[in-house]
Every structure is written in structure tokens, then in C-alpha cells.
Structure 1
Amino acid sequence: NRDPETFEWLPWIAYAWEVKDRGFIGKKIIEGYYDSTSSLFYEGQGEVTALKTDFKAEGKNLYSLKGKTIHGKKEEIHSTAKIIPNQGKGIKVDKVEKSMVYLFYLRNDVYWHDGKRMIPEDILFSYQMIMNPYTDAAHLRNYYQGIRKVSKINDNTVEFVYEKPYFQSLSLCGGLPILPKHRYNPEKFKGDEKGLGDYFNRHPDNWKPVGNGPFVFDEWKKGERFTLKKNKNYWASKANLPYFKKEQPYLDEIQFVIINNTNAAVKELMNGNIDAIFELEQSLWYDSRLLAKLFTDRFVRADFLTPLYTYIGWNLERTLFKDYRVRQALSCLIPKEKILKEIHQNLGEVVSGPFFVKGPVYDHSLTPYPYDPMKARELLKEAGWIDHDGDGIRDKDGVKFEFEYLIHNGREYHQKIADIMKESMEEAGIIMNIRIIDWTIFSKTVSDRNFDSVRFAWGTGIDGDEYQVWHSSQIEQGGSNFIGFKNKRVDEILEQARVEFDPIKRWMLYREMHHILHKLQPYSFLFSFQTLGLYNRKFRGVKFYSGGYNLNEWYIEKE
């Protein structure tokens, strides 16, 4: 997206750009006094498998737990694109043009929730855990693999040295997820990298994290809720930071309530048992209950654009999907416009590739594959998939064209979309079996490659690094290239893009990649959506950013 005043492209992380809550347009937001006894009950869909979300890819990632709420961040990037140190006093960059050496000067008043002071050793330990091949951090390792060393210079200075320039190096060093070394006692595993990695993956703090952010983890009732409480000794509240109000956070408590059914969540909201729902299903957005004046007088209907897309991934290790003509045919058999209209209420748009549809990389000259059964039949015939025995099912070399489509039970509309696809596939002589599993095992099932095809979503950036998803090296267990995509030219593009500091040249590389993916269809790209939410009007200070919202800013006016 672009800044509405300057028309500049804004950066991609945290405070990349700001979209004000439409419910407040034309209304005065009063700073006033803050009620220190307020709580927030927030609905979350799907059980959480681990709360160490910065490291662990498995499970339900909740924005407010990543960097902002339990774990503080090392730096923030505001909408002005200016990097502002948070836990560091300042940043010194050597070799300003295509820098490779970064020095971070740390504050001496940042404390973990258990009372221990954050020290440089915590940063070194966290980096080592990301790079340990036995930790559940394969999705992070690729971003830090270009670092030659991370060193403690003195008691308040850490140095990052890269092997070669990387256009996102400062953001990634500054945004390194930091964990308290003293809680893991790595000295016990000296020389035993696997032992340490296994211990790290099973550590109790994965389920009861100790951070240094504005909220302290309190309790987790599995399958029901988990609770955060205000950190009354939060270091930033005492630090006189120019961009942080000392009263923040304003809320005393936040409860994340696990409700797997969206309709049930709406009822809980209307009954006053929860205060907010985000990621509301599109099918409910125009529900008469949510449009009634009685409802809108109590709740804000908030919609904001998030850089993400949905897709169907084809497991390229399966013989069925190795021929790109077959994948093109399958894309032509998905009635995307019908699904968008009937299931998603036209609250989004069909996309042709993995880049943010409103960003500078996305190539609008590429048209998404339309619903075209005739074209699909031609492509399948070219690829040798013909009904040889007259039973109505296409076959090749004695193998029927039959596959499994994997979805999870966290969204009611997944089944509806699957039913539409199944009917279309059957009309083309293809058997599609629908497999529904619980959200708690969905991510692991995909990570283990135990699927033929899967419906998924991916959050992208405005000018991000696509290496994690598309480079062939990321096919490793736990990596994000779980469909097994390999393409020599795409690998070259991703490697060149990482060292290309000219954004225009980098975008052109990514556009070439967009064209390759459009032809090969390793994913059948589906939609980019508005994120939909509902929250109680008693809350003030609510703003939406590219990454979601910042609960530090929410407050309730004192009566």
C-alpha cells in the first residue's frame, strides 16, 4: 500500500502503514483518563499448540503474542520508515551502503518477567538457537544464514557481521526474537547440539513463556483460554521514550478465549462474554444480526487490508502433480469467482501470484486462471490423462486420477469450498476426496508432507523476501517449502534479490519469478482478503496496521 499523504511505498513490518478504524471516522477520539481495572476478552479460533511463536511455526500464531505483548522487540519501524530503537539505546551501522556490520547498543534497564536483566548473552543464545539445526526454527534459519558471527563487544553492545550484503539485514538483526538464556541452562549441553535442540523444543517455557514485554503470561487452560496480565514493572513505562506513553499498556488483563465455531463466537460477543473477534468469516459480515442498529451501537465493524493470500498447494512429490499442465488444468477447474461471490461475499479479489496485490511487485498484467473446464480437459489430455476404460474417471498408465484435499475444521467455509471443488473435479473425470482434520494437528500434518493437496494461507510483505517459501533449500523438514517446489531460475532470482539493494531492480526480479510461478502453478492461487473484525465500542485507541493491531494502545475511558 501507499501512504495516503506522501504516496510513498511503506515498509512491511509492524508499523509499515496505518489504516484508521473506519468506525471512528468523523468522531473525536478522546485521550482523557484511563481505567486501570479494564480487561479484554478476545476470541481465538483453534487451540494453540505453543506460545513461543517467534520460534515455533506450528500452531495458531497470534499477532499480539509475537514481539509486542509477551516478548518485547529490539527495534520498531514506524510509518515514517524511520527505525527507532526499542531495547537498544542506538544503532551504529558501518558501511552504510550495502552494510554488513551492525552494532546494537543495548539499554541496561530491560528486565525479563522473572526479574533478571536482559544481557547481550541472551541475544547470542537466541541466535544460536535459531541456527541450531535441531530446533523447531527451520522457517527462521534461512533469514539468518548469511551471518558470519554475532559477538558480544561489551556488557551493552552486540555486533552482527554478515558474509555478504542482504537488503533486509538491519530489519532482521533488529527484529531477532530474543529469549532469556538463563532459563535454558545451555551449559549443560556443551558440545551436544542435538541434546540442546531437543531440550529447547520441549522446554516448559514453550507453554508458559517468560518475556520482557508489556504483558506477563498468567495461565493457560488448554482448549478454553489463556490469560495475560499487565506487567506492572514494564521497563518501557519507566524509560521516558518519546514514542511510548508511560501509561501503556492500559489494560490490566487480556484473555484469549478458544472458540472453534465462528457463529458460537458471535453469540458470545453479543452476550457480553467476549469483547472482540478478529478474522471473522466473510459469510457473516453481512449477517442481519451484525448490521442491526442494536448491534452497531455496541460494536465496531472493522475491516482492514492485510498482505496475505490464500492458495491450494499441490504436493509436487506426488506423481499426479509433477506435470505443470496438470496443475494448470486443476487451476482451471476451481470456480474462483463463484467461490468469492457465494462463500466470501466478494470481500476480496482473485490473485495470480504470491505477492501483495496492492504492492509494487505484483504484476497485474498476469490474469488469474479463469474457471475453464474445456481448457482443463485439453490440458489433461495433453498430459496423458484420459478415461481409457470408460468408467468416467481419467487414468494414465493404469493409475486413476484420484487425490486427497486436506482442510482443517477451524473454518466452516472450508467444507463449502471443498464441496464446490469436488463437484467441478468430478465433472472433469477426477476423484477428489476431502479430508478434514483438527487444527491442532493440521500444521504438523502439512509440515510432515502427509498430504496430496492442501488449502492454506500465507502472510506476505510489501517488499519482502520470498526465499523462505520458494527456494529449494527450504524443502528441508520443517521448512516452509512443504510442497517440494524446485526451479533453478527461481532459486537464482531469490539469491540475487537478497543482495539487490535497488528496490526497482529487486521488484523486476520478483516479477520475473511471478511469471514463472504463474506458468508452473505449484500453487493454485486463490484470494487476497480484507481482514474483518468486531470489537466493543468501549475500547478506544484502536488502530490497525499491516501486521494487525497493537493491544498496548487499547484503553477504556474512565467513567
Structure 2
Amino acid sequence: MSHHTIDQLVDQLKSGNISRRGFVRRATALGISASAAGMLAKGVVAQEASPAASPAATFEPTTSITREEYEAALQEEFQFSEPENMGGEVIIVQISDIGTLNTTLSTDVYSGWINGFLFDSLVGGSSIDGTDVPGLADYWEVAEDGVTHTFYLNPNAVFHDGTPLTAADVEFTFQSVLAEDSLSVRRSTVASTLQELVVVDDHTVQLIAQAPSATFVSDAAGQFGILPKHIWESVPFAEFGADPGATGQDPTRVIGSGPFRFVEWVPNDHVTLEKNAEYWDTNNVPYIDRFIYRVVADANTAVQSVVTGESDIAEVPFTQAVALRASNPELNTVNYDSLGMNFYHVNQDETKETLFLDVRVRQALQYALDRELLAETVYQGFAIQANGTQPVLSQAYAPDRTNTVYNFDPDMARALLEEAGWTDTDGDGIVDREGVRFSFEFIYSEGVATYAQQIPYMQQAWREVGIEAIPAAIPFQTLLDETDNGTYQMTVQGFNWSPDGAQIAMYGCESTPPAGFNSMRYCNEEFDRLETAAITELDPEARIDLLIEASNIVNDEAATGITVFRQNIYTSSPRLHNYTPNGYGVVWSIGKTWVDPS
């Protein structure tokens, strides 16, 4: 035990850089008994106490849930069974490949799954209710100033190559995200809330918020995993995406700290991960040996692979769910509310596309669609018409407070088009204006089962009001490239949102890729003002009011066309135990999953 180290801890406690609780925790890690550490901390605080009355605190200091408390809550909620078999593999099949192995660059759900297994974040999201829970940080504290957030990293955390994970890695990761030439879509979210990052010591980091914020922890600390500085510091931030550590071409560069290690990524075929037997979080070392993410041509093939036993987990097309339950009752087929939506969005960059700049045109596109029909037929009742922009599990979901409800009204659609100057002057069935026909291409990801019905319906519904929409199925990654670059007219996509209700990363003026998800290049300054105000509003009800008002703006202006809020449906092999998908994640329980012997 180093007296020098103890002296440093005492100095940090005196200066306020760590709390009494943090002091005791670190002192016990150095071999001092808990009682002795507590007495020492009490003595230090007593020595530092001033006889003068201290100023009243603006905020009540708070301490987060601890790792142990969250683990206990998970067990109570889900009642995981003890494994009767160790080893084996779990194969999940999807129709889309992942996009990257750099956690800070991930933009799609599937990359998020894989990166979440490879890289630990400072904090995570609760699989019970979506709130912030410990990740690399065992816990964190919010000081009485309301802006100083102190995160206590687990001192045992190491990367897959054995290198200790320290505050220097946290600092470097944030630098890579916030750099001017960063490729991370999280840049705008983090930059809009984080004032400063302070490295207190190797295992203590302070994130200073620009202002007190109800969502600061998730906005700043929960956006991405932590990269190993020793692997990435020689790579220019602007080249992160092409680095072999992001493409998987050099497995020795795909180094994280998570419960699985990287083995290989064969594009458009599979990603293989293996159990990290040396995982620092010993209570969460996976029971299985391998996790394989397999890419198949279409959703029907995915489901059949589970039926035949070739794979273990697949998303079920809405059109197949009822029949699958009837024909294969041995499979575990579940449906649940989600943060998911299906929507289309149009390019509103006036330098590249002018068809959709008039809000009346965007509203007409909405009124022309019978979204209740889509929910009942295409989604087989496993979805509802989307009224507003907040998905069902969002804290700001309030359909009864939505200003504009776009119920099916083709006459309204035609009237709005006419108001905007679009009429059929030549009798060909397509409206035109100043010699330009209202015709555009709308792209969508190939292989999505619901699109076989949905896309032709949307095309026909718009045709009924005089709009020619020409569909084009393309690979998912190509779609992301075109929307990120703004080289598209319209796209139809699925998306999952966060439960906290904030949507500035989707609709904010400064959130265009790569800074955010605003591929449509929509901008409304009042929306930005309300969302920014919500960030610093600590009263939960007042914050939700601001978010509802903000979401009404983008809904009134039809910034996007959200068709339905959908449930998720997944089926899994009966040989899997403890696998528990829900609205907060599809693969979150893989670490607790065990499989029957082969």
C-alpha cells in the first residue's frame, strides 16, 4: 500500500474532487478496512469544516444507483435462472449488415448491438425502464452546483489486450467525438450539453454540464463506448471510419473492454464474437462461448432459419406472427411495445431539392396515407397510427396533446397541393407546377418484409392525389450513405428513439450528419429553443411540457412523415434460457443467456 496514494486521496477529499463515499471506496480498494477508511474520511471532513456558515446549496447533491443495486433490480425483475450448461453459441439473423466497429461512429441499431458487446460505456440504459445505470462507472455523483458530475470508474476495468482502462481513455474518446473533424453523429448532442471534462485521477472523471440538466448523464456519458487511446491515438479523427479497426480488417485493432471479443466480420455475411473470459465485470461474464450475427437475404429466410434450428433468434415479420405462433408453438415468439417507428422523410435542403420545401406539400403527403389501414394490414395490428413524433415508450408520448392529427383525408391532400400551386394542367394524372411534374424517387432498404405491401400502397395512395413516387430498393448501407450525404429525395425507414423524449438530435438545425440524424436538413429555430430549454429544465413535468410543445412544431410542419409506432416481434429457439427481449433492447440479455447442450 502506498502512503503517497493515500495522501493523494486525502487531498482530493479536501479539495472536493471526490466525495466521502468515493474516498471510502478507493481507500478500501487500497487495502484499508472500511471502518478505518470511514473514520479517516470523517476526520478529514471535520478538519476542513469552517466555523462560518456555508452558503445554501442550490441543488441537493445526489448519488446514482450503484452497480450492485442495479444487478439486484434486474434479478428481481426478470428472475434469471442459474445456468445448467456453460458454453455453446447463439446465432441471431438479420437482413442488414452492421456499419462499423468503431463505437463512436455507430448510427444504426445493429452496429449498436455489436459495439455494445465489444465496448463498455461510462453509463448504460436500464433494461427495466431505460433510465441511466452504471457501466464502466460503478456510480456517479451530482454536486450541489447541479453541473458537476463525478464518475467513479471501476478500477478493475481492462481492455481485451490487458491494458488498464483509465480516465485517459475516457478523455481521448470524448476528444475524438467533439473534434471539429469528428465523424461522430453524437457530436452535436454532447457538444450542446458538455462544458468540460476533468480527469481527477486514473479512475475518476468529472463531466461538467453547461447548465443543470435532467438528461445530461445520458446525453453526455451514455452515447458511446470508450475507445482504447493506445490503439486509436495515432489515427486522425477524420479517418476513424476507414481505419481497419472500424472495418474489422485488422482484428488486432478491434479492442474494447466489453463482455465479448471480436473475431471476424465478413461483410454481408456474418460477425463473430467470442466470450471475454477475462471480463473485468466478473458477475457478467457471458455463459455462452460465441455470439454470431448473421446476415440473410430477407426476413422470411431469417424466421425459417429459427424454425429449422439453423439459428436461434430472428425478428418476425408482422404478417407471419400469428401463423408462426400457431404452427410452431415450441418457439418463444413475443411481441412488445417499443421505441420504434416507421417513417419516411424528404430532403429539405433547398440547394439540392425543392419539391418538398413547402410545408403544405409535406402535409399533403401525410393526409394522403391511410395509416390506420397500414397498422391493421401491413403490421397486422402490431402497430398504431402515429399521432405526433414521440413513440409509445417515450416519456413525452402524449397523443391526446397532439396539435395536428393527419387522419386519412385525400381531399385535404389535394386541396393543400392546389394551395401550393400543384395542379394537373395536362390531364396525365400527375400534378405539376411551372412545367415540373410532381415526381420523385423514394428509396428503401431491400429485404424488409413489410415493405412488400407498404411501398406499393404508399405509391398508389400518393398517385391517387396526383403524386408520382417511384420506389427503389437499395442496400441498407447505401441508403444510409445517400441520406447522410443529402443525395436523396425521399426515403422510407425504421428508427428507434430514446425514452427521454428529447429529439433535437433528429430535428435540430445543427444535427445534420455527421453531427446528428437530421438527414432531411429540416430547421426550425423555435423547435431548437424549446428543446434547448428542456435540456436545462429539471422539473420533470415542465420538461415534458417543453418536449411536447417542441414535438408539435415538427409534427405540424410534417418535418418527417411518421406512419406508425410499431411493436417488435421476435422469435427464439426453445434451447435458449434467460433470453428476454423488450422495448429497451433486443440483445441486452445475451450475457445472461444459456443454451441447452447440443
TM-score (norm. length: structure 1): 0.85
Contact 2:198–2:205 (8 Å) recurs in 1: yes
Which residue in the other structure is 1:532 paired with?
Answer: 569
| Aligned residue type for 2:363 | Q
Which structure has the highest helix share of the two? 2
Partner of 1:204: 244
Pick the aligned partner of 1:484 from 518, 521, 535: 521
Distance, in Å, in 1 between the alignment partners of 2:376 and 2:138 is 51
Give the one of 233, 243, 258 matched to 1:213. 258
Task: Name the residue aligned to 2:218.
Answer: 171
SS of the equivalent of 1:277 reads: strand
Question: Are 1:101 and 2:134 matched, yes or no?
Answer: no
Partner AA of 1:229 in structure 2:
E
The reply to whether residue 306 of structure 1 matches residue 338 of structure 2 is yes
User: What secondary structure is seen at the aligned counterpart in 1 of 2:336?
Assistant: strand
Aligned to 1:517: 554
Matched, 1:555 2:594: yes
Is contact 1:329-1:375 (8 Å) kept? yes
AA of the residue aligned to 2:91: F
CA contact (8 A) 1:410 1:439 kept: no
Q: Contact 1:43–1:257 (CA<8 Å) still a contact in 2?
A: yes
Q: Does 1:35 align with 2:70?
A: no
Structure 2 counterpart of 1:189: none
* 1:297-354 Cα shifts (integer Å, max 9, x gaps): 2x10111221122211121233221111111111111122222222111111011222
Give 2:27's aligned residue. Answer: none
Which residue among 327, 340, 343 is the counterpart of 2:375?
Answer: 340
The residue type paired with residue 356 of structure 2 is F
CA distance in 2, matches of 1:524, 1:82: 28
Q: Give 5+ residue unaligned stretches, structure 1.
A: 1-10, 187-194, 238-244
Specify the alignment match of 2:36 in structure 1. none
Does residue 325 of structure 1 match 2:360? yes
**2:232 is the alignment partner of 1:181:** no
Identity of aligned residues (%): 22
Distance 1:476 1:50, change over 3 A: closer
Quickly say closer, same or farther: Cα 1:159–1:482, change in 2 above 3 A: same
Q: 2:289 aligns with which of 248, 252, 257?
A: 252
Residue 399 of structure 1 is matched in structure 2 by 436
- Residue 536 of structure 2 aligns with which residue? 499
Structure 1 contact 43–258 (Cα < 8 Å) conserved: yes
1:478 to partner: Cα distance: 5.3
Give the match for residue 14 of structure 2: none
Kindly state the Cα deviation for residue 129 of structure 1 after the two structures are TM-superposed.
Answer: 0.4
**1:517 CA drift (Å):** 2.4
Question: Shift of the alpha carbon at 1:223?
Answer: 2.2
Q: Is the 8 A contact 1:111 1:118 kept in 2?
A: yes
| Whole-angstrom CA distance in 2 between matches of 1:373 and 1:82 | 41
Can you give the 5+ residue segments of structure 2 that lack an aligned partner in the other structure?
A: 1-64
Alignment of 1:265 with 2:302, yes or no, is yes
Query: Which of the pair has the greater relative contact order for Cα pairs under 8 Å at 6+ separation?
Result: 1
Supply the distance in 2 between the matched residues of 1:57 and 1:449 (Cα, whole angstroms).
18
Per-residue Cα deviation, 1:206-241 (whole angstroms, up to 9, x for no partner): 12421111111112222221111111111111xxxx
Cα distance in 2, alignment partners of residues 476 and 250 from structure 1: 38
1:521 Cα deviation from its structure 2 partner: 0.9
Mapping of residues 3-402 of structure 1, within 5 Å: 31-52=81-102, 54-58=103-107, 61-67=110-116, 69-76=117-124, 78=126, 79=128, 85-95=134-144, 99-175=146-222, 176-186=224-234, 196-206=236-246, 207=248, 208=251, 209-237=254-282, 245=283, 248-278=285-315, 280-287=316-323, 289-292=324-327, 295-297=328-330, 299-317=331-349, 318-365=353-400, 366=402, 368-402=405-439
469-478 or 450-459, which moves further after superposition? 469-478
Q: What amino acid is aligned across from residue 283 of structure 1 in structure 2?
A: T
Assess, with a 3 A threshold, how the Cα gap between structure 1 residues 106 and 403 changes in structure 2: closer, same or farther.
same
Counterpart residue type for residue 41 of structure 1: I
Amino acid corresponding to residue 147 of structure 1 in structure 2 = L
SS of residue matched to 2:415: helix
Q: May I ask how many residue pairs the two structures share in their alignment?
A: 514
| Larger Rg computed on CA atoms | 2
In the alignment, the residues of structure 2 paired with residue 489 and residue 395 of structure 1 have an alpha-carbon distance, to the nearest angstrom, of 32
The structure-2 alpha-carbon separation of the partners of 1:357 and 1:37, relative to structure 1 and needing over 3 Å to count, comes to closer
Secondary structure of the structure 1 residue equivalent to 2:526: helix
Higher mean displacement: 323-332 or 516-525: 516-525
Over residues 126-167 of structure 1, what are the superposed CA-to-partner deviations in whole Å (9 max), with x where a residue is unaligned? Answer: 000001232320334322343222122222222222232232
Match status 1:458 vs 2:495 = yes
Deviation (angstroms), 1:551: 0.7
Match of 1:242 in 2: none
When the two structures are superposed, what TM-score results if normalisation uses the length of structure 2? 0.80
RMSD across aligned C-alpha pairs, in angstroms? Answer: 2.7
Q: Which moved more, 1:31-40 or 1:330-339?
A: 31-40
Q: Structure 1 residues 533 and 63, CA, compared in 2 at 3 Å: closer, same or farther?
A: farther
* Residue type of the alignment partner of 2:137: G
Instruction: Check 1:270–1:493 CA distance in 2 against 1; reply closer, same or farther (3 A cut).
Output: same
The answer on whether the counterparts of 1:310 and 1:528 sit within 8 Å (CA) in structure 2 is yes
